[in-house]
C-alpha cells in the first residue's frame, strides 16, 4: 500500500503537477492562437514572441514595483504588474494590425499571405524583445516559492517520496481557470462576444447583420494580447524567462490548437493539456516509479525513459503530424488549416 | 409612389461586361414581387443590385422616395432592407436564438417583441431555439434565415431563392409564411426558380431575360399569358 502511495506521489511530483501547470500555459497560448485564427483567419506565427514581449513588459514593471518596495507578500509581484504588460501587448498588436494586417485585410489577401506577414512580425517582435531586455535568462519570481515543500510533505505523511507544489504552479492553474472562464463567458453571453462568433462563423452574413468588422478585429486582438501576456508571464514564473524559449513554445502551442480543432476555444484548452501531458510523460524516467510497483526481480535496470528531455519538441511535432494525417479537423471539429 | 423603385439599373461585376441592361423592378408595401426567368437571366444579380452588392453604371434605387443608390449594403440594412442570401444564410455554429439576436445586432432597443413575432410566425423555431442552426433541416434553416432578416424590422425583405433545395411540401409552407410576412405590411422581393408556384402568390412578376425586363405584369396575368407559359413555365 505504502509503495503504491509512494509511486503515486512520485508521479504527481514529477509528472502530474508540472504537466498541469505547463498544460495551463499552453492552453492559454493556444486559446489566443485559435481566437485569432477563428476571427482573422490566419495562423499567427508571432504569438510566441508576442508572449515574450508582453512578459518583458511585465518583468520591467515588476522590477519597477520591487524597486519602489511594492509587493504582494507571498504572491509574486508580477501579478500586480500583469495589467501593465497586457496594456503594452495590446497597444503593440493594435499598432501592428494598423500598420501590417489591415492592409492585407483590405486587399482581401489569402491566408497564406497573412501567415508570411506574421512571420515578419515575429522577427520584429523577437528583435524588439532582445533590444529591450536582452537575451539572457531572467528570473522575476518573488514571494513564497513553495505552497508545499517536498521535505514538509514527507514529514507530514511519513512517505519516502515528497510532493512539492510551487506557488507559481498554483497561481498558473488559478489564473488559467479565471482567464478561460472569462473568455468563455465573454464569447457565450455578451453581445460583442456573440458578434465575434458570428463573424467567425459567417463573415458575409455578419456584415449583413450590421456587425462592425473593425470592432470585432479590435476586440479579438486585445483578448489575444491579454492571453499571450498572461500565458507568457505564467510560463516565466513557473520556469524562467528567456526570449528564445518563447519562440520555441510556438510549436507546442500550435500543436495544441490543431489537436483540439483550430478555431474551437474549448479544443485549445483540451489540446494544451494533451500536448503538455504527452511531452512530460514521454520524457519522464519511470525507473523510480516502477521501482515501487514491481517486485524485486522485475526492477528495471535502465531509466525507462522513452525520450530524452532534449527531444521534448519532437513529441509535439509527432502529435501534430499524426493529427494532420488522421484527423485534420482535430478533436472538436475545427477548421482545416 | 411605389415603396421600392429600382429604375433602369445597368451594371456588371468589376470591370466585366454589363449583366443588367436598364432593368426596372418595383414593389409596394404589403405586396410580393417575384423575379423569374431562365438560368443566367440575371435574376439574383438584379436583386444584388437592389441591395447594393453590384455597382450600377446607370439607373437608381429609391426606397420610400429616398435615393439610396450610393449606399453600401450595410447602410441599406439600416435604411430598412432585409436580405436573405441563397446559401450560407445562417450562422451554423450558433443557436437559433443567437441567430435571431445577431439579426437584431443593429438595434439598441428591446427586440424581445420582434423575436416573439418571429417565433409566432415560425413555431418550430421556438422549439429549437437552443439548437445550433447547422443541425436543422433545410426548410427549418430557411425559416431561421428569414427570421434573422426580420429581426431588424425591415420594410423591404429580399429573398434569394428561398425554396432552393427544399421539398415541395416545405416549399408550399414557406410560401404561406412569406404571404403572412407580406400581410404585416412588409414589401417582399423574391427571386425564384419555381416560377409557377412563385407567380401564384406574387402581386407582381418580372420575367428577366439576359438582364432585360421581358415581361412585367401581375403574377396572375403572367400565369395566364400563353406566351409566358410556353416559353418560361413549360406549357
Contact A6, A284 (CB under 8 A): no
A336 lies in some domain: no
What's the gap in Å between the CA of B105 and the closest CA on chain A? 6
Residues of A in contact with B92 (CB under 8 A): 201-202
Which pLDDT value is given to residue A246?
A: 93
Residue with cell 421556438: B126
| Chain A interface disruption, residue of B47, B105, B151, most A CBs within 10 A | B105
Render each residue's pLDDT in chain A as its tens digit; 337 residues. 788 899 999 999 999 999 999 999 999 999 999 999 999 999 999 999 999 999 999 999 999 999 998 888 889 999 999 999 999 999 999 999 999 999 999 999 999 999 999 999 999 999 999 999 999 999 898 888 899 999 899 998 888 889 999 999 999 999 999 999 999 999 999 999 999 999 999 999 998 888 999 999 999 999 999 999 999 999 999 999 999 999 999 999 999 999 999 989 999 999 999 999 999 999 998 988 888 888 888 888 888 888 888 888 899 999 999 999 999 898 888 777 6
B105 vs A200, A202, A210: nearest CB: A210
What's the gap in Å between the CA of A43 and the closest CA on chain B? 21
A122 lies in some domain: yes
Q: Which residue of B has its CA nearest to A333?
A: B93
State the Cα–Cα distance between residues A55 and A84, nearest whole angstrom: 10
Give me the domain span that covers residue A226.
2-326
A141 lies in some domain: yes
A337 lies in some domain: no
Cell reading at A180 = 478561460
DSSP letter string over A6-73? HHHHHHIIIIIHHHHHHHHHHHHHHHHHHHHHHHH-S--TTHHHHHHHHHHHHHHHHHHHHHTT--BT
What's the gap in Å between the CA of B194 and the closest CA on chain A? 25
State the Cα–Cα distance between residues A22 and A228, nearest whole angstrom: 14
**In chain A, positions 167-206, which contact chain B (CB-CB < 8 Å)?**
191, 194-195, 197-198, 200-202, 204-206
Dihedral sign, Cα of residue A206, residue A210, residue A213, residue A218 = negative
Cβ-proximal residues to A124 (8 Å cutoff; 6+ apart), any chain: none
Q: Which residue of A has its CA nearest to B150?
A: A209
pTM: 0.90
Indicate the number of domains in chain A. Answer: 1
Low-confidence ranges of chain B (pLDDT < 50): none
Which pLDDT value is given to residue A158?
A: 87
A332 lies in some domain: no
Cell reading at A209 = 447583420
Nearest to A58 by CA among A21, A19, A92, A86: A86
Which pLDDT value is given to residue B235?
A: 60
Nearest to A329 by CA among A259, A265, A231, A243: A259
State the Cα–Cα distance between residues B97 and B69, nearest whole angstrom: 33
Nearest to A327 by CA among A250, A267, A260, A275: A260
**In chain A, positions 208-247, which contact chain B (CB-CB < 8 Å)?**
208-211
DSSP letter string over A210-225? T--HHHHHHHHHHHHH
Q: DSSP state, A297?
A: G
Identify the bridge partners of residue A305 per DSSP, sorted by sequence position: A285
| Chain B interface disruption, residue of A108, A201, A332, most B CBs within 10 A | A201
Which pLDDT value is given to residue B2?
A: 87
Residues of B in contact with A194 (CB under 8 A): 94, 98, 101-102
Q: What are phi and psi of A225, to 5 degrees?
A: -65, -40
Q: Please indicate whether, in this complex, the C-beta atoms of A209 and B92 are within 8 angstroms of each other.
A: no
Cell reading at B225 = 399569358
What's the gap in Å between the CA of B49 and the closest CA on chain A? 15
Q: What is the CA radius of gyration of chain A?
A: 21
State the Cα–Cα distance between residues B99 and B79, nearest whole angstrom: 21
State the Cα–Cα distance between residues B129 and B116, nearest whole angstrom: 12
A26 lies in some domain: yes
| B150-164 pLDDT, tens digit each | 999 999 999 999 988
Contact B208, B46 (CB under 8 A): yes
Which pLDDT value is given to residue A337?
A: 61
Q: Please indicate whether, in this complex, the C-beta atoms of B93 and A208 are within 8 angstroms of each other.
A: no
DSSP letter string over B143-180? HHHHHHHHTT--SEEEEESTTTT--HHHHHHHHHHHHH
CATH of the domain at A320: 1.10.3470
Residue B207, SS3 per DSSP:
strand
Instruction: Classify burial at B83, counting beta carbons within 10 Å of its beta carbon; exposed 0-12, middle 13-18, buried 19 or more.
Output: buried
What's the gap in Å between the CA of A103 and the closest CA on chain B? 20
Nearest to B50 by CA among B82, B16, B78: B82
**In chain B, positions 66-125, which contact chain A (CB-CB < 8 Å)?**
73-74, 77-78, 83, 85, 88-94, 98, 101-103, 105-106
Q: Which residue of B has its CA nearest to A189?
A: B98
State the Cα–Cα distance between residues A285 and A303, nearest whole angstrom: 5
Amino acid at each position: 500500500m505504502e509503495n503504491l502511495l509512494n509511486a503515486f506521489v512520485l508521479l504527481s511530483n514529477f509528472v502530474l503537477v508540472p504537466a498541469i501547470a505547463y498544460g495551463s500555459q499552453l492552453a492559454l497560448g493556444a486559446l489566443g492562437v485559435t481566437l485569432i485564427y477563428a476571427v482573422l483567419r490566419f495562423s499567427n506565427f508571432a504569438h510566441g514572441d508576442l508572449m515574450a514581449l508582453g512578459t518583458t513588459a511585465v518583468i520591467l514593471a515588476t522590477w519597477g514595483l520591487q524597486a519602489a518596495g511594492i509587493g504582494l507578500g507571498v504572491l509574486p509581484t508580477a501579478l500586480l504588474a500583469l495589467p501593465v504588460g497586457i496594456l503594452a501587448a495590446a497597444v503593440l498588436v493594435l499598432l501592428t494590425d494598423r500598420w501590417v494586417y489591415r492592409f492585407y485585410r483590405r486587399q482581401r489577401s489569402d491566408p497564406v499571405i497573412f501567415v508570411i506577414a506574421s512571420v515578419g512580425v515575429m522577427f520584429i517582435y523577437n528583435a524588439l524583445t532582445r533590444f529591450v531586455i536582452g537575451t539572457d535568462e531572467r528570473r522575476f519570481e518573488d514571494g513564497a516559492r513553495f505552497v508545499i515543500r517536498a521535505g514538509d510533505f514527507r514529514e507530514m505523511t511519513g512517505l519516502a517520496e515528497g510532493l512539492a507544489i510551487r506557488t507559481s504552479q498554483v497561481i498558473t492553474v488559478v489564473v488559467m481557470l479565471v482567464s478561460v472562464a472569462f473568455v468563455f463567458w465573454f464569447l457565450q453571453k455578451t453581445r460583442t462576444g456573440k458578434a465575434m462568433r458570428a463573424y467567425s462563423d459567417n463573415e458575409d452574413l455578419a456584415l449583413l447583420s450590421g456587425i462592425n468588422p473593425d470592432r470585432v478585429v479590435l476586440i479579438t486582438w486585445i483578448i489575444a494580447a491579454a492571453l499571450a501576456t498572461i500565458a507568457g508571464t505564467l510560463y516565466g514564473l513557473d520556469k524562467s524567462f528567456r526570449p528564445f524559449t518563447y519562440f520555441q513554445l510556438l510549436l507546442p502551442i500550435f500543436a495544441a490548437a490543431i489537436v483540439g480543432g483550430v478555431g474551437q476555444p474549448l479544443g485549445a484548452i483540451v489540446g494544451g493539456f494533451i500536448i503538455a501531458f504527452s511531452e512530460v510523460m514521454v520524457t519522464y524516467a519511470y525507473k523510480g516509479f516502477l521501482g515501487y510497483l514491481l517486485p524485486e526481480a522485475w526492477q528495471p535496470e535502465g531509466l525507462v525513459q522513452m525520450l530524452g528531455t532534449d527531444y521534448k519538441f519532437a513529441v509535439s511535432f509527432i502529435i501534430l503530424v499524426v493529427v494532420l494525417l488522421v484527423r485534420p479537423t482535430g478533436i472538436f471539429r475545427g477548421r482545416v488549416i | 409612389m411605389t415603396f421600392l423603385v429600382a429604375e433602369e439599373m445597368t451594371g456588371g461585376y468589376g470591370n466585366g461586361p454589363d449583366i443588367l441592361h436598364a432593368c426596372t423592378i418595383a414593389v409596394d408595401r404589403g405586396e410580393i414581387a417575384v423575379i423569374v426567368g431562365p438560368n443566367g437571366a440575371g435574376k439574383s444579380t438584379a436583386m444584388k443590385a437592389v441591395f447594393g452588392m453590384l455597382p450600377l453604371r446607370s439607373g437608381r434605387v429609391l426606397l420610400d422616395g429616398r435615393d439610396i443608390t450610393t449606399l453600401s449594403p450595410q447602410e441599406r440594412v439600416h435604411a430598412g432592407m432585409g436580405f436573405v442570401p441563397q446559401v450560407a444564410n445562417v450562422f451554423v455554429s450558433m443557436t437559433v436564438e443567437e441567430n435571431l439576436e445577431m439579426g437584431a445586432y443593429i438595434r439598441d432597443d428591446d427586440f424581445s417583441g420582434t423575436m416573439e413575432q418571429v417565433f409566432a410566425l415560425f413555431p418550430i423555431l421556438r422549439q429549437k431555439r437552443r439548437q445550433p442552426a447547422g443541425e436543422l433541416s433545410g426548410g427549418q434553416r430557411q425559416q431561421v434565415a428569414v427570421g434573422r432578416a426580420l429581426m431588424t424590422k425591415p420594410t423591404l425583405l429580399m429573398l434569394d431563392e428561398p425554396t432552393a433545395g427544399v421539398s415541395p411540401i416545405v416549399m408550399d409552407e414557406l410560401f404561406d409564411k412569406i404571404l403572412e410576412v407580406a400581410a404585416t405590411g412588409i414589401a417582399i422581393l423574391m427571386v425564384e426558380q419555381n416560377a409557377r408556384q412563385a407567380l401564384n402568390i406574387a402581386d407582381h412578376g418580372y420575367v428577366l431575360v439576359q438582364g432585360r425586363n421581358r415581361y412585367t405584369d401581375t403574377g396572375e396575368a403572367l400565369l395566364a399569358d400563353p406566351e409566358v407559359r410556353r416559353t418560361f413555365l413549360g406549357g
